[in-house]
Amino acid sequence: MKQLTVLSGKGGTGKTTITASLAVLAKNAVVADCDVDAPDLHLLLHPSVVKTQEFKGSKLAVIDKSKCIECGLCREKCRFDAITENFEVDPIACEGCGVCTIVCPVSAITLTERISGHAYVSKTKYGFMAHAMLSPGEANSGKLATLVRQNAKILAEKEHRDLIIIDGPPGIGCPVIASVTGIDAGLVITEPTMSGIHDFERALQLLKHFNVTPFVCVNMYDINKDNAEKIVSFCRENDIEVVGKIPFNPVVTEAMVNGKPIAEYAPESDVAKEIGNMWKKVLSALQYKSG
């Protein structure tokens, strides 16, 4: 089984637009949306949920007011400033570490489970999908991304699919790390802007850190052809394959407004054709890796 993650560093470079089209082109893949705090892939793939799972991310300290003697030890030892002047736990600040529970001399504090979101297993017209929704403002997006990947793997094994395509979150922090560990290749979507270049270099460093083979796609390359050329020569110098150069085309937004992957909405468009070419290159490289 092969796993490919679409990532970018910078947000808004086109990860989800491209992942949705890959889902159409791959036909037999399981798709996983690991951007669990701002997931958008379902807006294009329209999954119908088969199974819902509660996600228990972190715990929350609860103070039993009838036992509390207001000695202040918990507040002193809490490193997250999560205990207020009135001995209430601030649920936003609390990281569920449990230090307050062990320092409390009267055992007035316990850790309770909290539901931090939901994970879903779904069917789409393009195949199976694993996705999730973190409750707004919750922590532990990395743990939930890991759960989504586990669900995708179980699906792939059960349904005899040999490929998982993962839509990654922006950035390089915990949910991104959770989306790239142990994968076969990362497809980095960048744009020819100063920020795009800066962030794509950090995304490539991340893949290198975790020993993942990178591929690069320059999206909207004609917005600034000089910068696009810089990206291409950077990749050439570093022996990284540029698998796609996608032009800017308003039809991409039009497809999104219509809730469809561009490969289905406008298969004859320059964008869809380039994504198609890119997919062939990525697929053959993935297959070559196994051989």
Partner 1 sequence: MPRNAGGIIVAIASGKGGTGKTSVAVNMALSIGNVQFLDCDVEEPNAHLLLHPEIAQTEPVYVLVPIVNEELCDYCGKCADFCQYNAIFVSPGKVLIFPELCHSCGGCAIVCPKKAISEEQHRIGTLKFGLVSDSKIVYGELDVGEPMAVPVIREVKRRIKRGKTVILDSPPGTSCPVIETVKGSDFCVLVTEPTPFGLHDLRITVQVLEDMAIPFGVVVNRAGIGDKKVYEYCEEKRIPILLEIPHQRKIAELYSRGVPFSLEMPEWKPRFQALFDEVRKLAGK
Nearest approach in angstroms of CB 242 to partner 1 is 18
Question: Residue 261, interface with partner 1 (CB under 8 A)?
Answer: no
Among 47, 127, 171, 186, binds partner 1 (CB under 8 A): 171
| # residues near partner 1 by CB under 8 A | 64
**65 vs 225, which CB is nearer to partner 1?**
225
Interface pattern 34-73 for partner 1 (x via CB under 8 A): -xxxx-x--x--------------xx--------------
Write the burial class of residue 186 (CB in 10 Å: 0-12 exposed, 13-18 middle, 19+ buried).
buried
Are 5 and 157 in contact by the 8 Å Cβ rule? The answer is: no
Question: Residue 168, interface with partner 1 (CB under 8 A)?
Answer: no
Interface pattern 190-229 for partner 1 (x via CB under 8 A): -xxxxxx-xx--x--xx--xx------------xx--x--
CA distance 155 to 181: 19
Are 122 and 129 in contact by the 8 Å Cβ rule? The answer is: yes
Question: Residue 244, interface with partner 1 (CB under 8 A)?
Answer: no
Nearest approach in angstroms of CB 68 to partner 1 is 19
Give how far Cα 153 sits from Cα of 26, 38, 120, 127, 142, Å. Answer: 16, 22, 13, 14, 17
Among 46, 75, 77, 153, binds partner 1 (CB under 8 A): 77
Q: Which two tokens stand for residue 35?
A: 């951007």
Q: What is the DSSP string of 173-195?
A: SHHHHHHHTT-SEEEEEE-SSHH
Residues 112-151 that bind partner 1 (CB under 8 A): 134, 136-142
Q: Which two tokens stand for residue 270?
A: 């320059």
Nearest approach in angstroms of CB 165 to partner 1 is 18
Return the bridge partners of 32, or none: 130, 166
3-state secondary structure of 106: coil
Q: Which two tokens stand for residue 201?
A: 């270099």
Question: Residue 105, interface with partner 1 (CB under 8 A)?
Answer: no
Within 10 Å of residue 207's Cβ, how many Cβ atoms?
21
The residues of the shown chain that bind partner 1, judged by CB under 8 A, are 9-13, 16, 35-38, 40, 43, 58-59, 77, 79-80, 92, 95-99, 102-103, 111, 134, 136-142, 169-177, 191-196, 198-199, 202, 205-206, 209-210, 223-224, 227, 250, 253, 256-257, 259
